[in-house]
Amino acid sequence: MKKLALLALLTATVFLGVMVAHAEEEVLFSFENGLEGWDVPDWAYEKPDHVQKEIKPSDKFASNGTKSLEMMAEFPGGSWTGAIVEIQQFFDWTNYKDLATDIYIPAEAPKGLKAKFILTVGDDWKWVEMSRDFALEPGKWTTVRADLLPGSIDWKRVQVDDNFRKDIRKVDIRVVSNSQPVYSGPIYIDNVRVTKK
Q: How many whole angstroms separate alpha carbon 114 and alpha carbon 133?
A: 6
CB of 154 to Ca ion, least distance (A): 24
CB atoms within 10 A of CB 188: 21
Site map 48..67 versus Ca ion, x via CB under 5 A: --------------x-xx-x
CB-wise, 130 or 189, nearer to Ca ion? 189
| Site size for Ca ion (CB under 5 A) | 7
Cα torsion angle, 145, 162, 27, 57, sign: negative
Residue of 120, 122, 34 whose CA lies nearest to 84:
120
Q: Which stretch binds Ca ion (CB under 5 A): 110-118, 140-148, 168-176, 185-193?
A: 185-193
Closest separation in Å from C-beta 146 to Ca ion: 20
By the rule CB under 5 A, 30 interacts with Ca ion: yes
Closer CB to Ca ion, 69 or 176, in the complex = 69
| Residue 68: CB minimum distance to Ca ion, A | 5
Q: How far apart are CA 82 and CA 50, in angstroms?
A: 5
Contacts of 173 (CB under 8 A, 6+ apart): 84, 85, 86, 101, 103, 115, 116, 117, 118, 144, 189, 192
**Least Å from the CB of residue 62 to Ca ion:** 4
d(CA 135, CA 167): 28
Residue numbers 97-156 binding Ca ion by CB under 5 A:
none
List contacts with Ca ion (CB under 5 A): 30-31, 62, 64-65, 67, 190
